[in-house]
């Protein structure tokens, strides 16, 4: 199983709009095809060095091929509107992880 996580740093003045956007638009559009599943949005706890908040947006994919397909076919339609809406008020980076069975 693949875990696809994007961590966002969000300026304080837009963080409530960001949460609403993620729940109402970003998550439903990201999971529409079924390539990404099990969405989870979480606030990253800890002392913020910069003003604002950090959030982790996590999905799972059944394999790297499914994630690659989502990235190739869908990610632009998901991330472009997000970046257009919030512009320089958010920044983020993505991490791809393989779960370890035990």
Residue 56 clears pLDDT 70, i.e. is over it: yes
Residue 5 lies in a domain: no
The pTM of this model reads: 0.90
Within 8 A by CB and 6+ apart from 99, the residues are 1, 2, 3
Could you give the percent of the chain with pLDDT greater than 70?
96
When pLDDT is averaged across residues 21-44 and rounded to a whole number, the result is: 96
Task: Tell me the pLDDT tens digit for each residue of 4-30.
Answer: 999 999 999 999 999 999 999 999 999
What pLDDT was estimated at residue 87? 92
Q: Tell me how many domains the chain contains.
A: 1
Residue 44 lies in a domain: yes
Q: What are phi and psi of 91, to 5 degrees?
A: -145, 150
The alpha carbon of residue 46 and the mean position of all alpha carbons in its chain are separated, in whole angstroms, by: 19
- The residue range of the domain holding 42 is 12-87
Residue 99 lies in a domain: no
Residue 53 lies in a domain: yes
Residue 3 lies in a domain: no
Residue 58 lies in a domain: yes
For residue 62, the 8-state DSSP code is S
Degrees, nearest 5: CA angle 30-58-98: 110
């Amino acid at each position: 199983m693949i875990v696809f996580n994007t961590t966002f740093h969000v300026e304080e003045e837009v963080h409530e709009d960001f949460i609403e956007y993620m729940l109402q638009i970003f998550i439903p559009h990201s999971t529409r095809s079924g390539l990404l599943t099990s969405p989870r949005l979480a606030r990253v706890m800890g002392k913020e060095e910069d003003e604002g908040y950090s959030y982790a947006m996590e999905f799972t994919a059944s394999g790297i091929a499914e994630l690659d397909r989502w990235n190739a076919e869908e990610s632009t339609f998901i991330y472009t509107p997000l970046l257009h809406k919030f512009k320089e008020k958010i920044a983020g980076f993505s991490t791809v992880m393989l779960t370890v069975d035990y």
